[in-house]
Amino acid sequence: MRMRDTFIKPMHPEGRRFVAIFAAITVVLFLIWQPLGWLGVGATVWCYYFFRDPVRVTPVREGLVVSPADGVVSLIEPAVPPAELGMPDVPLTRVSVFMSVFNCHVNRAPVAGRVTAVAYRPGKFFNASLDKASTDNERNGLAIEMADGRTLAVVQIAGLVARRIVCFTAPEKRLAAGERFGLIRFGSRLDVYLPEGSVPLVALGQTMIAGETVIADLASDEDTRPARTD
């Protein structure tokens, strides 16, 4: 690995037109007043950084559930998956990962499996860190059937600033664990509904890395891991 790779990350194609728009506005700002132009440069760099799409190394052992998003764990609680996914009306453990506007927003599949449902539902734009965002906000959900027949749900939720959920997959497509399946612009949250009886191995406030941080191990009977705040 080269040192520059630590700082310079590839950009997702979804971000190209936004960076171009920011750059064009920056040129105009320079023509108006140079200090404004430099503010535009900062905003353009931020836009590129928002759409960064770094390479991730995903653990692929059977039973592992990895985080679908960068961010922090904001909620761990029982909840019924969205009705539009057609899953049983049974509370499952929901792990919510909140993404700020400074996190990478490319979303990755938490497990390998067949997509059995993709369901979009319009809604409101409350702060994504709030509990009611799961039920009231605009969202797009995926149900993924794993090799053992169990189903896991992952739901993209728009936030206070986010106004566009993008999904790259479709029903009957097979996803690999850690494979890119969508993104959200700008600032949002992802919910993972673990299969019944699963125990999360993360704690509230824990920093997550999409495609790498393990949320749960479905092949293990390990109890919830203790955590501390330093």
Q: Which residue has the higher pLDDT, 185 or 175?
A: 175
Q: Residue 229: what pLDDT?
A: 84
Count H helices and E strands in the chain, helices first: 3, 13
Q: Please indicate whether residue 188 is annotated as part of the active site.
A: yes
Question: In the predicted model, is pLDDT for residue 5 greater than 70?
Answer: no
H helices within the chain, ranges in order? Answer: 16-32, 34-50, 133-136
Question: What token pair was written down for 8?
Answer: 């310079």
186-199: average pLDDT:
90
Question: What token pair was written down for 1?
Answer: 């690995």
Distance CA 33, CA 36 (A): 6
Instruction: Identify the DSSP state of 50.
Output: H
Q: Residue 163: what pLDDT?
A: 59
Q: Which residue has the higher pLDDT, 213 or 227?
A: 213
Question: In the predicted model, is pLDDT for residue 105 greater than 90?
Answer: no
* Strands in 80-213 per DSSP E: 92-99, 106-108, 113-121, 139-145, 151-158, 164-167, 174-175, 180-185, 188-193, 207-208
19-44: average pLDDT:
92
195-221: average pLDDT:
95
pTM (two decimals): 0.88
Catalytic residue among 96, 134, 188, 198: 188
C-alpha torsion sign, points 169, 171, 175, 178: positive
Contact status, residue 144 vs residue 113, Cβ threshold 8 Å:
yes
Contact status, residue 72 vs residue 207, Cβ threshold 8 Å:
yes
Q: Which residue has the higher pLDDT, 139 or 14?
A: 139
Alpha-carbon distances, residue 172 vs 1, 64, 91, 117, 153 (angstroms): 37, 21, 25, 8, 15
* Most confident listed range (7-11, 17-21, 43-47, 87-91): 87-91
Question: In the predicted model, is pLDDT for residue 76 greater than 80?
Answer: yes
Question: In the predicted model, is pLDDT for residue 178 greater than 90?
Answer: yes
Render pLDDT for 112-160 as a digit per residue (tens, 0 to 9): 999 999 999 988 777 666 677 777 888 999 999 999 999 999 999 987 7
Contact status, residue 156 vs residue 188, Cβ threshold 8 Å:
yes
Mean confidence (pLDDT) of the chain: 89
Question: In the predicted model, is pLDDT for residue 92 greater than 80?
Answer: yes
Q: Which residues of 40-51 are buried (b: 16+ CB within 10 A; e: fewer)?
A: beeebeebbebb
Worst-scoring range by mean pLDDT, 23-37, 171-185, 216-230?
216-230
Alpha-carbon distances, residue 137 vs 90, 94, 134, 163 (angstroms): 21, 16, 6, 11
